[in-house]
């Protein structure tokens, strides 16, 4: 199997989700894994990709890929796939990656399995895992022919550095861009200001629900998150009530997250919230209602008033850290 | 005590009537435009396909898209929910020789039936009252039937546009000329988001509204053209679940009595049904008339309570709930039918027009038959190459000659007598049915559901707590409806936001999807009602009980597959 992983970078940093896919591909252990990086500053980041298991990194810093637009990247990928003879191309979901994957599938007339959460080799065959029926079951999916394309949910894999990681071979590419690929222009790009890490990338999330009592209650969540070096999440109920921005909403109709530590403050744990965070490593919840459903899937549950416990917890963590 | 109708919603039907506004070259022109991919709309589309196939010259004259059908759900069937034991007559008349009944996906003929009168612990088997006999009827999932009929409609040339809501009725010179579809991609405050797509004018020679219960534009059209019947329409609310079960159920079961209360002052009319769906599944539902008075009555919680009855619990033991949903049913019957089911350029079909036989618990075959008759009337008008204001009146004539009218006339006063309480009402209903409707007990007037003064009896304390196995709370039920509506879209529910506590309680308990919650209390005793509109499964109960549902962004709402 010859695997190529599409890496994304932003602000001089490789995106964790795409590194996770690279690490996963390398761990399959079936032949060398290559990565492709396009855009400004790609070359400088190539070496880092080696640490996550890429034996070879294709880089492209052409003017055409300077902006985060999908179509020129389809040209780059199509070119690299032909040059390198890859039969499997993996993406971590993002707005850009989803567009690129779809465009590439159309370009190559290839099969794309999307929304996967895992992949494995079974008797030499690549098998993807895709949640279905509202994530209640996982179905096995495969590909009828090559190249096989797969798009993984963000946060499906940990970006674990490869054991045998090392300096990768770096190859620069500059494909011929199709005329229609270069017609789109990026007019403006707005980045939402946030102080901490984004909730998809954070290792620690402190999430607040209606149990915080009022919008001001989110101060407790923010302080605890800061002490833990994490990000702040919110339930739909409090976003609906206007206590916290939609961008922090976790759950069925918000973001799917899988941090190492998830601290739930005053969250009852409705299933709509659960599906967005059940992949978290350790779940700690504080709620005054002992019958709250969240205790059924918490590793550590504390029955008590979040307004008393959270500030003390924050203080303890600060002391421990200083 | 308060009446919900004293707190009318901020809603004006005139806001949803408009002249076409898109420039002429941008309007989408179709021949016949059908709104709603339910049994009525799909039957209409299928019949038009048959007729246009036989008369290609008429099809030719209708342009590139002779028949278009709008569906607000993700796909046809997404918003369809019914019992459903269906009288096959409508399907047989629609397909004739073209399709055998056995070729239509169903769960087979009714294998047998039983009716029980329940008390809290006991179940008394009683002979099925004549209207409830189901010999020869078949069991369907209406959602699955909808998807099957949609495929037939597309084969016949209908263009189906899913995830598209019909927001405004286009009226020009006193004639309906199509609909305007809803915008997509607006934020909470109505602002245009990155993926904003404006709605568009769909212009048609004939517009058929087959929107089902509480149809948005059907209501607008009734106001605009003065179509409301002599009596107000009233509704029932049904909540149902689909279960995978360990043992097959060998009959269709109906229950009356508990957990509803018999006293006339409660006005609790309704019952439950349990239908087998093949060997491995069954569906269980609870239906209650929305003319009830208790502010704490909750159809969802009544269903949960029903499942704790020993008789019912046994049927579900070892099983697993796989889907949940809710919908209203128009229950006013004959006297609440619109004065006319047509207006210039417009036809009304199915549940939207109130074509439901509550005593027999049937409406799907009326929906199909009315859709078929609407197609024929539209075709006759188009065949003549013109559609003057009166051209569609043949639809009303055909309906009055049909079995729909006959059936509904026979049971015309049955629903209303239950306003006298379950026991007296039941006896009167028996007398009326046995005489095939010839006994006149004097006209019993119905009042709008929202006019009933509210009662408070502490009813909610008796509802069982959710255990996650047999009984479920509302939020996990909304999840089981497949609803994953985008949260940051404009609120589509119109209610008075500050009302007396009991009215707020009424809405909070009534809504099976937990859309309404009690917010801040004010010194004058009123409370602010907080809304979670994205929970909404568009059952329509709020429109019956003092609010007004409007269509959310297309594609919102439940995604039913088995209901």
Task: Select the residue of B479, B486, B488 nearest A271 (Cβ to Cβ).
Answer: B479
CB atoms inside a 10 Å sphere around CB B314: 10
Residues in chain A with CB shorter than 8 Å from the CB of B530 are 241
* Tens digits of residue pLDDT in A108-121: 999 999 999 999 99
Is 90 exceeded by the pLDDT of residue A165? no
Task: Select the residue of A134, A239, A253 nearest B482 (Cβ to Cβ).
Answer: A134
Residues in chain A with CB shorter than 8 Å from the CB of B479 are 134, 252, 270-272
Task: Select the residue of B482, B485, B488 nearest A246 (Cβ to Cβ).
Answer: B488
Helix axes B364-383, B393-401, angle to 10 degrees: 140
Separation CA B273–CA B237 (nearest Å)? 13
Determine the residue of chain B that is closest to A189 in CA distance. B194
Is 90 exceeded by the pLDDT of residue A163? no
Mean pLDDT of chain A: 91
Q: Do A249 and B478 touch (CB under 8 A)?
A: no
Q: Do A253 and B534 touch (CB under 8 A)?
A: yes
Nearest alpha-carbon partner for A279 in A300, A295, A255, A301: A255
CATH of B10-471, one of 3.50.50.60, 2.160.10.10, 3.40.1160.10, 3.10.310.10: 3.50.50.60
- CA torsion angle for A215, A220, A223, A224 (degrees, to 10)? -130
A279 burial via Cβ count (<10 Å: 0-12, 13-18, 19+): middle
Per-residue pLDDT at B281: 97
The owner of tokens 């509704």 is B235
Q: Do B487 and A236 touch (CB under 8 A)?
A: yes
The H or E element containing residue A104 is helix A95-108
- To the nearest whole Å, the CA of A240 is away from the closest chain B CA by 7
- To the nearest whole Å, the CA of A241 is away from the closest chain B CA by 8
Determine the residue of chain B that is closest to A296 in CA distance. B468
Q: Which of A95, A235, A270 to mutate to test the interface with B (most CBs of B within 10 A)?
A: A270
Nearest alpha-carbon partner for B40 in B368, B396, B365, B404: B368
Per-residue pLDDT at B437: 59
Residues A208-226, mean pLDDT to the nearest whole number: 94
Q: Do B534 and A236 touch (CB under 8 A)?
A: yes
Per-residue pLDDT at B385: 74
Per-residue pLDDT at B427: 59
Q: Do A270 and B475 touch (CB under 8 A)?
A: yes
Q: Which of B188, B488, B493, B559 to mutate to test the interface with A (most CBs of A within 10 A)?
A: B488
- To the nearest whole Å, the CA of B68 is away from the closest chain A CA by 29
Residues A47-52, mean pLDDT to the nearest whole number: 91
Residues in chain B with CB shorter than 8 Å from the CB of A272 are 475, 478-479
- CA torsion angle for B506, B507, B512, B517 (degrees, to 10)? -110
User: Do A204-321 and A3-182 have the same topology in CATH?
Assistant: yes
Q: B429 is written with which tokens?
A: 């209903």
Determine the residue of chain B that is closest to A249 in CA distance. B487
Separation CA B164–CA B183 (nearest Å)? 9
Number of A–B residue contacts, CB under 8 Å:
32
Fold of A204-321: Rossmann fold (3.40.50)
Q: Do B530 and A241 touch (CB under 8 A)?
A: yes
Fold of A3-182: Rossmann fold (3.40.50)
* Tens digits of residue pLDDT in B424-466: 556 556 655 656 655 555 556 678 999 999 999 999 999 999 9
Q: Do A240 and B532 touch (CB under 8 A)?
A: yes
Domain boundaries, chain A: 3-182, 204-321
The list of chain B residues with pLDDT below 70 reads 386-389, 415-445
Residues in chain A with CB shorter than 8 Å from the CB of B478 are 272
Q: Which of A253, A294, A295 to mutate to test the interface with B (most CBs of B within 10 A)?
A: A253
Residue A154: pLDDT band with limits 50, 70, 90:
confident
- To the nearest whole Å, the CA of B493 is away from the closest chain A CA by 14
Strand order in the sheet with B516-521: B498-500, B526-531, B516-521
- To the nearest whole Å, the CA of A289 is away from the closest chain B CA by 14
Residues in chain A with CB shorter than 8 Å from the CB of B482 are 134
Domain boundaries, chain B: 10-471
Per-residue pLDDT at B69: 98
Per-residue pLDDT at B430: 61
């Amino acid at each position: 199997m010859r695997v190529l992983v599409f890496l994304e970078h932003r602000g001089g940093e490789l995106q964790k989700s795409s590194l996770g896919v690279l690490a996963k591909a390398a761990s399959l252990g079936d032949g060398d894994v290559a990565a492709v990086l396009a855009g400004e500053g790609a070359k400088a980041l190539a070496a880092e990709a080696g640490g996550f298991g890429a034996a070879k990194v294709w880089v492209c810093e052409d003017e055409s890929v300077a902006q985060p637009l999908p179509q020129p990247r389809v040209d780059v990928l199509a070119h690299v796939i032909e040059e390198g003879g890859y039969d499997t191309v993996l993406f971590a979901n993002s707005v850009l990656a989803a567009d690129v994957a779809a465009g590439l599938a159309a370009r190559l007339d290839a099969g794309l399995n999307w929304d996967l959460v895992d992949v494995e080799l079974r008797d030499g065959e690549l098998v993807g895992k895709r949640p279905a029926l509202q994530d209640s079951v996982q179905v096995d999916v495969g590909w009828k022919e090559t190249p096989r394309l797969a798009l993984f949910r963000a946060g499906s894999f940990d970006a674990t550095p490869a054991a045998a990681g090392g300096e990768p071979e770096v190859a620069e590419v500059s494909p011929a861009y199709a005329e229609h690929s270069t017609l789109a222009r990026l007019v403006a790009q707005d980045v939402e200001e946030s102080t901490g890490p984004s909730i998809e990338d954070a290792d620690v999330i402190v999430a607040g629900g209606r149990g915080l009592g009022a919008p001001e209650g989110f101060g407790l969540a923010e302080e605890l998150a800061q002490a833990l070096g994490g990000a702040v999440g919110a339930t739909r109920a409090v976003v609906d009530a206007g206590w916290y921005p939609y961008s922090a909403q976790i759950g069925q109709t918000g973001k799917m997250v899988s941090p190492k530590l998830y601290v739930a403050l005053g969250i009852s744990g409705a299933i709509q919230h659960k599906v967005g965070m059940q992949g978290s490593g350790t779940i700690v919840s504080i709620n005054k209602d002992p019958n709250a459903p969240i205790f059924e899937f918490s590793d550590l549950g504390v029955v008590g008033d979040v307004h008393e416990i959270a500030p003390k917890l924050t203080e303890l963590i600060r002391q421990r850290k200083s | 005590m308060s009446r919900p109708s004293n707190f009318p919603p901020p809603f004006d039907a005139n806001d949803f009537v408009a002249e076409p506004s898109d420039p002429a070259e941008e309007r989408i022109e179709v021949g016949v435009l059908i709104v709603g991919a339910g049994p009525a709309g799909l039957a209409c589309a299928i019949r038009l396909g048959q007729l246009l196939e036989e008369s290609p010259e008429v099809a030719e004259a209708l342009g590139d898209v002779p028949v278009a059908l709008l569906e607000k759900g993700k796909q046809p069937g997404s918003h369809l929910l019914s019992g459903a034991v269906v009288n096959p007559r409508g399907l047989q008349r629609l397909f004739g020789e073209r399709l055998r009944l056995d070729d239509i996906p169903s769960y087979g003929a009714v294998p047998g039936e039983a009716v029980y009168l329940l008390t809290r612990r006991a179940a008394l088997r009683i002979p099925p009252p004549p209207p409830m006999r189901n010999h020869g009827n078949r069991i369907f999932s209406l959602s699955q039937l909808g998807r099957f009929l949609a495929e037939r409609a597309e084969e016949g040339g209908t263009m189906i546009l899913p995830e598209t809501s019909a927001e405004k009725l286009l009226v020009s010179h006193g004639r309906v000329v199509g609909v305007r579809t809803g915008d997509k991609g607006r934020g909470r405050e109505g602002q245009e988001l990155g993926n904003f797509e404006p709605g568009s004018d769909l212009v048609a020679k004939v517009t058929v509204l087959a929107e089902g219960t509480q149809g948005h534009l059907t209501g607008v059209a009734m106001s605009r053209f003065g179509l409301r019947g002599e009596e107000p329409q009233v509704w029932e609310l049904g909540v149902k679940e689909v279960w995978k079960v360990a043992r097959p159920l060998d009959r269709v079961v109906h229950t009356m009595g508990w957990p509803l209360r018999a006293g006339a002052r409660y006005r609790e009319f309704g019952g439950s049904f349990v239908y087998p769906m093949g060997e491995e599944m069954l569906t269980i539902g609870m239906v209650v008339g929305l003319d009830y008075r208790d502010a704490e009555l909750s159809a969802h919680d009544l269903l949960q309570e029903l499942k704790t009855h020993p008789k019912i619990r046994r049927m579900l033991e070892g099983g697993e709930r796989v889907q949940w949903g809710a919908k209203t049913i128009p229950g006013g019957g004959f006297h609440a039918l619109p004065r006319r089911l047509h207006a210039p350029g417009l036809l009304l079909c199915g549940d939207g027009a109130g074509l439901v036989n509550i005593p027999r618990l049937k409406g799907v075959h009326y929906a199909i038959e009315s859709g078929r008759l609407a197609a024929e009337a539209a075709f006759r008008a188009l065949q003549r190459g013109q559609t003057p204001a009166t051209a569609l009146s043949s639809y009303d004539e055909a309906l009055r000659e049909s079995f729909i009218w006959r059936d509904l006339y026979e049971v015309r006063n049955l629903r209303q007598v239950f306003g006298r309480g379950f026991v007296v009402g039941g006896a009167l209903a028996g007398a009326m049915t046995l005489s095939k409707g010839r006994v006149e007990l004097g006209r019993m007037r119905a009042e709008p559901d929202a006019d009933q003064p509210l009662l408070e009896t502490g009813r909610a304390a008796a509802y069982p707590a959710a255990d996650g196995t047999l009984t479920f709370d509302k939020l996990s039920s909304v999840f089981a409806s497949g609803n994953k509506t985008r949260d940051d879209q404009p609120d589509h529910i119109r209610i008075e936001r500050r009302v007396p506590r009991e009215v707020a309680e009424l809405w909070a308990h009534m809504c099976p999807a937990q859309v309404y919650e009690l917010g801040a209390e004010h010194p004058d005793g009123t409370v602010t009602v907080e809304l979670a509109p994205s929970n909404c499964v568009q059952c329509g109960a709020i429109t019956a009980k003092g609010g007004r549902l409007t269509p959310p962004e297309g594609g919102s709402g439940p995604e039913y597959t088995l209901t």
